[in-house]
Structure 1
């Protein structure tokens, strides 16, 4: 992604300071302790064991549900279907192909648990189709549009928490990193001021009005919040959203169907 250059080390978002402030030490531990208390998690959730974050393989056998990734305290939950890179014949946005465009082209009906592999069985078929799945992340457009929508559903859009999982490639993190900053900083999340975009693994606001999670192996982002937020996301012209619940199975790209 960087033309062969070695990645710098240190804080990947130091260039955004003080607008984006990294939280460390005792302040970080206090914050995560309060988060665990305010947003309780069932065992196996992403916030269980902050220093030893679980993966899908850790909670198998059995399907992973939304309740394993998001706190079970919200009135509504939404799955955001992350666009693929590339272009297809049915697409009208070069470089950004929606699930619904692919589904229409392939005659597939989208529902809450539709796996991406129903549209793109593997990387080889994706290459033939001219698309590349974006796994465990979000594209800039989806991230910015989501952030703008969330800003209308929190009293503190200027003070939101962002957590980056320590295992994300390219960030050179030894452990999870937590930041605080405004929601509109989302458009500037280019680590080390480089040209690749990296949204956080988890985001939440000070008042716990909503929670956003993108697991490293997931094909989608999951959002918990109010019914009003759900309605806004489902009605958004530039977000591919579908309502889910806590028992909805999370789509894991690493789970290859058996034939």
Structure 2
């Protein structure tokens, strides 16, 4: 747990001015609704990508398409993890516990996993002029700290604390505690992109330029699919 009350890792907890988050809260009806890609990230971008959180085998990341191939299936832009493994999310069976030699841990639910973030950050940095001036949203419901009394801003279905700091410090909360969640939302001051995650999801969503999304789809170490802002999330 961070020993500094005004910090989350190296990110500053903003309590005086939530103005930089207002663009996320001022959404037209029907744009960025709860349960959609743009509701998790932000509406209004030219293109969007879905980044799949990897499964694992012996603590090493495993791509969804590797798991799907082992079951004779394929992964599409909107494929759900439970479709990959052929399981009912509401009814446990033996497939939910892994496939020997292929996977033994489900993808991590929650905001962007650290391994994905390490690959993502250099790509994002190439698509903003303000990488040293970024803002972040952290869901107030994460239980590792008591956020009582701190101001929040609303996103569809969530209330978020506002953090700030360089893009390179987005990973810093896990330098304090490897089990500490990274922020759900990331965006630079020039708003050229927005990264969005959620406590209940096993994917991260990125809105930005067509060039950014094309690079994400081509980046080794990321399993990414192009999606539309109104597509439903799992």
Same fold, TM exceeding 0.5?
A: yes
What is the distance in 2 between the residues matched to 1:8 and 1:206? 25
- 1:178 CA drift (Å): 1.3
Pick closer, same or farther for the CA change 1:167–1:79 going to 2, 3 Å: same
Gaps of 5+ in 1: 1-6, 47-58, 88-93, 252-259
CA contact (8 A) 2:31 2:43 kept: no
- The aligned counterpart of 1:112 is 77
- Structure with more strand by fraction: 2
Match of 1:187 in 2: 171
Q: Output aligned runs, 1:41-190, within 5 Å.
A: 42=29, 45=32, 64-87=35-58, 94-120=59-85, 121=87, 122=89, 125-129=95-99, 130-174=104-148, 176-190=160-174
Q: RMSD between aligned alpha carbons? A: 2.6
Structure of greater relative contact order (alpha carbons < 8 Å, 6+ residues apart) = 2
Shift of 1:72: 2.4
Q: Give the C-alpha shift of residue 221 in structure 1.
A: 0.7
For the residues of structure 2 that align with 1:14 and 1:160, how far apart are their CA atoms? 14
Match of 2:21 among 29, 32, 36: 32
Deviation, 1:15, is 5.3
Measure the CA separation in 2 of the matches of 1:10 and 1:158. Answer: 21
CA deviations over 1:12-66 (Å, ceiling 9, x no partner): 84552xxx222113x12x22224445xx3546858xxxxxxxxxxxx5xxxx322
Scaled by the length of structure 2, what TM-score is found? 0.81
- 2: CA distance, partners of 1:106 / 1:12: 48
Q: Relative to structure 1, is the Cα distance of residues 228 and 215 closer, same or farther in structure 2, using a 3 angstrom cutoff?
A: same
The TM-score, its normalising length taken from structure 1, stands at 0.74
Q: Distance in 2 between matches of 1:179 and 1:152?
A: 22
Q: Tell me, yes or no, if the aligned pair for 1:13 and 1:190 is still in contact at 8 Å.
A: no
* CA positional deviation for 1:250: 0.7
Alignment size in residue pairs: 215
CA distance in structure 1 between the partners assigned to 2:189 and 2:166 by the alignment: 11
> Aligned partners of 2:120, 2:29: CA distance in 1, in Å?
26
